[in-house]
Amino acid sequence: IPLAGVMGAPIAHSKSPQLHRHWLETYGISGFYVPMEVKAADVEHVLRTLPKMGFVGLNVTLPHKEAVLKLADQITDRARLIGAANTLTFGKDGEIHADNTDGYGFLENLRSGATDWTPSQGPAVVLGAGGAARAVIVALLDAGVPEIILTNRTRARSDQLQSDFGNRVRVMDWTQISGVLHEAQLLVNTTSLGMVGKPEMEASLDGLQAHTTVTDLVYNPLKTRLLEVAEEKGCVTVDGLGMLLHQGVPGFERWFGRRPDVTDATRAAVLG
């Protein structure tokens, strides 16, 4: 019986156990998926031990996504480019294959919620320059978005991403977003602003127009203030829950042998 799970600190908030257990049940697969709260100092020991216990793989969430890359034996190009991994698969001798499916999950969610959005049509404005932004930017560049306008409250972090990802990324000051919003074909919030327990999105959205597709990585609440404002302006909006659901697909398929579908029932299982 295959065993898998999700490792992070904290881990109690994670919806991955509900997600994978829903799929196991739906497809009648015997398997286990367990949450594991692991301290940074224990990550290596845990990764060496789990394969011996019958684990076939693991999702990795904050704050271990970068650390696991250093312990991996094989790393996919996209995980290397992003600089973090969220999906590990263990080989027969415990060797670790590391992938990052966050960008894939982001794009699948966006495509399923905004069917008219075409990557090549115009620039994307990305708010935030953390790990999630890196995954989103790699996915958008790969999909053919001509330009990414990147803005972060701390300018130095966006400058770092600009130097990592090259001249299709243009950096703007946070206070100047309003002036470029009218250019955006897509607006993505990768910051935690608007998440329950965090400050509200304080960026000015005055320049936002109806032709821009707007998506938020925050999914608690499902409808953030950003998405509310966007809806009022007539934009197509896509909430962040689907990204979590879709990023789980490749791992589930590798570990449990069946490519799972993301449906309304999947959403309901995770929200329930």
The contact set with ligand SKM (CB under 6 A) reads 6, 14-16, 59, 61, 86, 102, 247
Phi and psi dihedrals of 211, rounded to 5?
-80, -10
Q: Of the listed 65, 92, 198, 233, which one is catalytic?
A: 65
Helix or strand or coil: residue 198?
Answer: coil
- CA dist 205 to 135, 160, 181, 209, Å? 24, 25, 8, 9
Phi and psi dihedrals of 252, rounded to 5?
-55, -45
For 78-112, the three-class secondary structure string (H helix, E strand, C coil) is HHHHHCCCCEEEECCCCCEEEECCHHHHHHHHHHH
Please, what is the minimum distance in Å from the beta carbon of residue 15 to ligand SKM? 6
Q: Which is nearer to ligand SKM, 147 or 216 (CB)?
A: 216
Cα 247 to Cα 243: distance, rounded to the nearest angstrom: 6
Q: Which is nearer to ligand SKM, 97 or 212 (CB)?
A: 97
Please, what is the minimum distance in Å from the beta carbon of residue 11 to ligand SKM? 8
Q: Which is nearer to ligand SKM, 16 or 152 (CB)?
A: 16
Cβ-count burial of 133 within 10 angstroms (0-12 exposed, 13-18 middle, 19+ buried)? Answer: buried
Please, what is the minimum distance in Å from the beta carbon of residue 269 to ligand SKM? 14
Q: Which is nearer to ligand SKM, 12 or 156 (CB)?
A: 12
Q: Which is nearer to ligand SKM, 61 or 151 (CB)?
A: 61
Give Cα 259 to chain centroid, integer Å.
19
Please, what is the minimum distance in Å from the beta carbon of residue 219 to ligand SKM? 10
Please, what is the minimum distance in Å from the beta carbon of residue 65 to ligand SKM? 7
For 199-231, the three-class secondary structure string (H helix, E strand, C coil) is CCCCCCCCCCCCCCEEEECCCCCCCCHHHHHHH
65 given a catalytic annotation: yes
Active-site annotation, residues: 65
